[in-house]
Amino acid sequence: MERTPGRRLGMWAVALLALGGTLALGVTVATAVLVEDGYTSRSVPSVSMDPTYRRGDTAYFTLGGGSGIRRGDIALISAPTWVPKGDVLKRVVALGGDRISYKAGDPTLVLNGVPLEEPYLKDRATPATASFDVIVPEGRMFVLGDNRGNSNDSRMRLSDHDGTLPVSAVRGKAVAAPAGFLAAGAAGLVGIALILAGGGVGAAALVVRGRARRKGRLQQVGQVQAVAR
C-alpha cells in the first residue's frame, strides 16, 4: 500500500501540537491552583528594590493582610496616594510604636536607639539621603526601598502621617518562588517549544505533500503527451 507523502511528518506534527497544548493547559490549571492556595506573582516595575529585586524580575507573594508582617519583610502594598495605579513593593523597616531615625552622614539608620544593620542595601554607605526622625503610629508602618538613592518611599512622604502607611494596606508578603510556580514555568516553556516544533513539522509536511502533488501532475501530463504521440 502506497504511503501518502508527508503522512509521517503530519502525524509527528499532530503529536507535538497535542502534547504542547496539554502542557500549556496544565500550566494554566497549576497556576490557578497556586493562586487558590494564596500565592501570586508580579513583575517588578522599577529599580527601587535593587539589588534584591531588579527591574523585570518576577517576585512571588503569599496573599493576605498585614497581620503577620514583620520588620525586614518585603511587602506588596496598596498605596493609591503614592501610586494611583498598581501596588508598591517596599521593605518594612519599622512598625507601630517604633522610632526610626537617620542623621545625615551617619552610617546607619537607628531603630529604637539601636543602629540598624541592612546588608541588603544597594549602597550600604548611604542608608538614606536626608535626616528624619519618626515615631510610627500604631497600626502603621514605615517602608523603604533597598535602593535608597532611587526609591519613592516613606522618606518622601513625611508630611503625610510621617510617611507611614497602614498595615492593612499590605496585600502580600514576598517569599521565595514556590516550587509549583517554577515547575509551571518550566512546563510552559516546554509546551511552547513543542507547539512551535509541531507547527514547523506540520509546515514541512504540507511542503512535502505539495511537492508530491506537483510531481504527480507532471507525471500525468507526461503520460498524456506520450499517448498523444
Q: For residue 61, give the C-alpha cell.
A: 507573594
φ and ψ of 128, to 5 deg: -160, 170
Residue 105 buriedness (CB in 10 A; 0-12 / 13-18 / 19+): exposed
Catalytic residue among 48, 101, 151, 154: 48
> Around Cβ 104, how many Cβ atoms within 10 Å?
9
Measure the CA–CA gap between 163 and 147, rounded to whole angstroms.
17
Per the rule left: phi > 0, alpha: psi between -120 and 50, beta: everything else, 30 is alpha
Amino acid (1-letter code) at residue 21: G
Specify whether 173 is catalytic.
no
Q: Which residue, chain included where needed, has cell 512546563?
A: 187
Per the rule left: phi > 0, alpha: psi between -120 and 50, beta: everything else, 188 is alpha
Specify whether 46 is catalytic.
no
Residues whose CB is less than 8 angstroms from the CB of residue 178 and which lie 6 or more positions away in sequence, other chains included? 34, 39, 60
Q: Which residue, chain included where needed, has cell 506540520?
A: 202
Catalytic residue among 90, 101, 122, 154: 90
The residues that are catalytic are: 48, 90
